[in-house]
Amino acid sequence: MKILSGPASPFLGKKIADVLKAEIAQAEFKRFPDGELYVRAESSDVVVQSICSNDDLVYLILMLSAIENSEKIAVIPYFGYARQDRKFQDGEAVSIREIARIVESYTDKIISVNLHSEIAKRYFKNLVEIDAMPMIGGMYRDKDVVMISPDKGSLERVKVSAEAANCDYDYLEKRRISATEVEISPKNIDVEGRDVVIVDDIISTGGTIVEATRILRNMGAKSVSAVCVHAVMSNFALNKLYSAGVKEVIATDTIERIVSRISVSEPIASEIKNLI
């Protein structure tokens, strides 16, 4: 078996190959002076490439096109465009639907991690989704922490992590006090004097975590950490988080960042074995 790692996922591709005792395929990636991208690669069984940018998407398509195997598995740990899963205004493209169609025209086997929404999953014909929330919970197993979801919509994800960690969990609830005033606080749990871990699937600009941290610290939390599956970390997000008083930031390696301390290589390797 050979693993072809794309420019967005070189370390994760190597880890997956190590678990599977597979070879890393030889490949060349480059950009022409006019901005066009180029791929030349050995025939491979598995392509590993997150979609964190438009270039990543083009590289993924070229990689899948370049390899000759009829049975190809596309491992896309972070599937960009998944948040554009519906029309919010007239005339908008449902971006994840179109990207799913393009990728699936090159492979009928896709493995991804925490695709953001149930709606996004509907646009795929043959998607295997890995849930990294139990792995996040494992980082805090039997530690005296309380896990907090930034909103009710993410509560089910946090519940999965909290059950794996064997700890308390809650979500931040907005209460309208007046026409101009809104109070935000944990729904049920008093965080005073406790170590709090904010859990989310994606940290993008960090704004949500910064605001949640401010609220929790004002309510007497002993410390506030943040953990996520996908560390997009745009617009100096890490600087904002640490400046806001976040004690620690941890993420998986679906997007390879300095805070990627949880590897999804083993569950991905396990799913590859099931598909081959």
Q: Is 174 a catalytic residue?
A: yes
Q: Please check if 180 is assigned to a binding site.
A: no
Average pLDDT, the chain: 93
Residue 180 scores a pLDDT above 60: no
Question: How far is 156 from 137, CA to CA, in rounded Å?
Answer: 13
Q: How many CA atoms lie within 13 A of 227 on its CB side?
A: 25
What is the model's pLDDT at position 174? 66
Nearby residues of 215 by Cβ (< 8 Å), 6 or more positions away: 172, 184, 185
Percent of the chain with pLDDT over 90: 86
What is the model's pLDDT at position 184? 67
pLDDT one-digit tens code per residue, 91-139: 999 999 999 999 999 998 999 999 988 999 999 999 999 999 999 999 9
Angle at CA of residue 218, ends 212 and 220, nearest 5°? 110
Phi first, then psi, for residue 181 (nearest 5°) are -130, 130
Place of tokens 């401010």: 214
Question: How far is 187 from 139, CA to CA, in rounded Å?
Answer: 24
What is the model's pLDDT at position 233? 96
Among the listed residues 174, 187, 222, 273, the single catalytic one is 174
Question: How far is 9 from 268, CA to CA, in rounded Å?
Answer: 13
What pLDDT band is residue 53 in, cutting at 50, 70 and 90?
Answer: very high
What is the model's pLDDT at position 124? 95
Q: Please check if 154 is assigned to a binding site.
A: no
Residue 163 scores a pLDDT above 80: yes
Q: Please check if 153 is assigned to a binding site.
A: no
What is the model's pLDDT at position 151? 86
Residue 179 scores a pLDDT above 60: no
- CB-based contact 74:60 (threshold 8 Å): yes
Domains of the chain are 2-131+263-275 (3.40.50.2020), 134-253 (3.40.50.2020)
Q: Please check if 195 is assigned to a binding site.
A: no
- CB-based contact 225:198 (threshold 8 Å): yes
Residue 71 scores a pLDDT above 90: no
Note the residue count of the chain.
276
pLDDT one-digit tens code per residue, 187-224: 778 899 999 999 999 999 999 899 999 999 999 999 99
- Read off the pLDDT of each residue in 156-184 and give the average, rounded to a whole number: 80
Residue 181 scores a pLDDT above 60: no
Q: Please check if 206 is assigned to a binding site.
A: yes
What is the model's pLDDT at position 103? 96
- Beta 27-31 vs 37-41: how paired, if at all? antiparallel
Residue 83's Cβ-count burial label (10 Å; 0-12, 13-18, 19+) is middle
What is the model's pLDDT at position 114? 97
pTM of the model: 0.93
Q: Rg of the Cα trace of the chain?
A: 20
